[in-house]
Amino acid sequence: MVNRNPRDLEELSLTPIERDFSDRVQGEDLEFWASDEGKYQIIHKENQRNAFSPSKILSKFTATQLVTMSGAASGFLAGVVVCPLDVVKTRFQAHGALAQSTGSLASKKYRGFLGAFKTILREEGLRGLYRGLVPITIGYLPTWTIYFTVYERAKLFYPEFLKSHFNLETHALNHFCSALTAGMTSSIAVNPIWVVKTRLMIQTGSGSTIYNNNAENKSAAQPKVERTYYKGTLDAIRTMYKEEGIRVFYSGLIPSLFGLLHVGIHFPVYEKLKLWLECDLKSASADEQKSTLGRLIAASSVSKMIASTITYPHEILRTRMQIQSSNRNKSDKQKGKLINSIIKIYQKEGLKGFYAGYGVNLIRTVPASAVTLVSFEYFKTYLLEISGKL
């Protein structure tokens, strides 16, 4: 009896015979294959199943491709989980700009995180908490796919580069440079999606936005484009391009690049905490992985809180710039928009304005960081392990 793999049988032009001759012979799960010439071969059904097992399929991918898949999966999961929190955060960050144009009435609309959550749920329903879900999911998926792919490769590149060019050998600097490189790449690539997401998240439904959702606000003089209501993601892309040109999709990019300091702090601290807390999934047994999960959550949460506290003002600037009009007829006024935004926030809101929605932001970003980083670690370890590349 010859025990062959189904692939070998296909090369010999053998096919399963039509009549069901499969049977168990002396405890063996067998299947008969026949050729056009009447020749027969017998194989183990277990071998046939193994030919299509996940490990066989995943072994065809490189380690880099598996890391990319892990980043995409963690990004998608994070986008779905944190969307309601992201909506509340965006409303808070846009809140200061709204108060400047509509007065004290608008400034009283949202009172704290729970108050904002309840207000949105009451006035707009569950759908209101998922405004911008499509772009945020589309945004998180490529953002973290690109980020983790570049970050993992940069971690291999920078140690040798820094040593040969600057004679430097420090893990912190390696992680810092890797995080900056990955952050810059993903920010430039995905910024248009985040602009669309922000515009959709300040909409309140029924053809209105937070700028014109009641009679009092409708009387306020505001630029036409700020009143534009988008029917969906594709409509937003078409309308924004038609009314404001291609440049609108890169609104807030400069503050985003300034915000690279955030990942430059977050990931080196995260990597250091992983070492201190011994969060190595590769060497952890099944029993140890439960406690490892808790330590990974702690490492991702603490590192995110530290980075967010230091760099939060850039998010305020980015959000304010993304909701501003980019009217091409007033392009001269767009020069120095970043500086003007800083001055206006300071004059009207003081230093406190640069931390508007900070508490809400932590409530959103800390669990988002935990979901993203922890799921990435598990996805990556699992895929590399079953593919035999760990």
Highest mean pLDDT, choosing among 90-104, 106-120, 225-239 = 225-239
pLDDT for residue 377: 92
| Across 237-266, average pLDDT | 88
Q: Is the pLDDT of residue 373 over 70?
A: yes
**What pLDDT shows up at residue 31?**
52
pLDDT surpasses 60 at 174: yes
Written as six digits, the tokens of 136 are 């945020």
Q: What's 103's DSSP letter?
A: -
Q: From CA 318, how far away is CA 314, in angstroms rounded?
A: 6
Average pLDDT over the chain, rounded to whole?
77
| Residue 301 pLDDT grade (very low, low, confident, very high; cuts 50, 70, 90) | very high
Say what percent of the chain tops pLDDT 70: 72
DSSP of 337-365: HHHHHHHHHHHHH-GGGGGTTHHHHHHHH
107, two tokens: 């400034």
Q: What is the pLDDT of residues 108-153, one digit of tens each?
A: 566 667 777 888 888 888 888 888 788 778 778 888 899 999 999 9
Least confident range of 35-39, 64-68, 219-223, 339-343: 219-223
At 298, is the pLDDT very low, low, confident or very high (cuts 50, 70, 90)?
Answer: very high
Q: Identify which has the larger pLDDT, 10 or 175.
A: 175
Would you state the structure tokens that stand for residue 221, as one six-digit string? 């003089």
Band (pLDDT 50/70/90 cuts) for residue 104 is: very low
The 3-state DSSP class for residue 196 equals: helix
Each residue's pLDDT tens digit, 193-220: 888 988 888 887 767 776 665 444 444 4
The vertex-150 CA angle with 149 and 153, nearest 5°, equals 90
Residue 53 in tokens: 């097992």
Choose between 58 and 271: higher pLDDT. 271
- pLDDT value of position 164: 94
For residue 42, what are the β-bridge partners? 3, 32
* Residue whose tokens read 């209101």: 128
* Averaged pLDDT, 230-247: 90
At 84, the pLDDT band (50, 70, 90 cuts) reads confident
CA gap 243, 185 in Å, rounded: 28
Sign of CA dihedral 91, 74, 269, 366: positive
- Residue 57 one-letter amino acid: I
Beta strands in the chain (DSSP E): 14-16, 23-25, 28-35, 40-44, 203-205, 208-209
